[in-house]
Structure 1
Amino acid sequence: MAEETSSDFTPETLSNGEDTSPAIGLISQYVKDLSFENPNAPAVYQWQAAPQIDVQFNIGADGVGENLFEVTLKIDVTSKADEGTAFVIELKYAGLFGVRNVPEDQLQPFFLAEAPRILFPFARRVVADAVRDGGFPPLLLEPIDFHGLFLQQAQAQAEGQGDIPTPVGQA
């Protein structure tokens, strides 16, 4: 008779059939807020100098119900040339995540590293489309290593620099 082995990935099931294994799932994702400003149109389309692009981002997570969390990826982009501001875009792109049986110490790494990684490609497309719709070439944001940024921030806090408020990331 063969001996049965179990793996760490087998869901734990109670005798009543309840699944107690940890799970997180994306329920929905959406544009929460979008603003595109083109303050110097139509003159901006005559400018010859290449603009300087400044990209800032931030991540927030809020409980919105029992076992429900909203993770928001905020992206601010400013394009400036010598003549002035070409465009400004502000995007809040959010995802609604359902959480079940996840230890408390595992939530922050998920919300600040993994959830933004899931949301970023969609937010990136919204930014590119909005910039293109504003009359400029699409702006394709570089991929962001959210996991690496989270680890840097966690290490800084562990080394006693946690009193200084640091943004989750900047690009």
Structure 2
Amino acid sequence: MQKNNDKISFCIQRIYVKDISFESPNTPEIFQIHWSPKIQVDLNTNSKNIYKDIYEVTLCVTATAKIGENTAFLCQIKQAGIFNISGLNDTQIARYLHVYCPEILFPYVNECFNNQISKGSFPQINLNPINFNTLFIQSLKKNNNNNKTTN
């Protein structure tokens, strides 16, 4: 439920890159190997309240491409946004911070990711779409199970 007599408001104030890291430790030798990498992608979201109804949400994606035991590249991007969210209860705000805001940031991460990879002279790799709603629900279930085992 929303708060009493509050108008629901959601506004993007700013979207920005907070941090970018790209490493290619095995160049130029890696370019001589047939390109058939195994890619591992790790994803994390963080949010913090910076002032009243203003929140910063950060989507961090780390991708590692390996050919055998050799690391072709490691790319980490922290894409952030500042969002104004008001007129919602805590549960609804949590859904915005962990689902809707990361969904907005994800295309920016994907673009930045491919930009870094191509500058490293590697073929572009599109990140698969992510269902942030499913991840949010899984996180809630995990937290509920952890709370049951600690009580």
Instruction: Give your verdict on TM over 0.5.
Output: yes
Mapped pair 1:114 → 2:114: no
> How many residues end up aligned between the 2 structures?
145
Q: Which secondary structure does the structure 2 equivalent of 1:126 belong to?
A: helix
Give the residue type in structure 2 aligned to 1:133: K
Provide the TM-score with structure 2 as the length reference. Answer: 0.89
- Please give the alpha-carbon distance, in whole angstroms, between the structure 2 residues aligned to 1:127 and 1:86: 14
Please list the CA deviations of residues 64-114 of structure 1 after superposition, one character each: whole Å capped at 9, or x if unmatched: 223211000000011111251100001100010012222222111110111
Give the corresponding residue for 1:123: 109
Structure 1 residue 138 displacement after superposition: 0.8
Mapped pair 1:41 → 2:27: yes
Q: Which has the higher contact order (CA 8 A, sep 6+)?
A: 2
Structure 1 residue 163 displacement after superposition: 7.6
Higher-Rg structure is 1
- Aligned-pair Cα RMSD in Å: 1.7
Please, which runs of 5 or more residues in structure 2 have no aligned partner?
none
Mapped pair 1:63 → 2:43: no
- Please give the alpha-carbon distance, in whole angstroms, between the structure 2 residues aligned to 1:163 and 1:138: 44
Q: Which secondary structure does the structure 2 equivalent of 1:90 belong to?
A: strand
Provide the TM-score with structure 1 as the length reference. Answer: 0.79
Structure 1 residue 155 displacement after superposition: 2.4
Please, which runs of 5 or more residues in structure 1 have no aligned partner?
1-11, 13-19, 165-171
Question: Paired residue for 1:155, among 114, 123, 141?
Answer: 141
Question: Paired residue for 2:10, among 15, 24, 28?
Answer: 24
Mapped pair 1:91 → 2:77: yes
**Percent identity over paired residues:** 31
Give the residue type in structure 2 aligned to 1:77: A
Structure 1 residue 129 displacement after superposition: 1.1
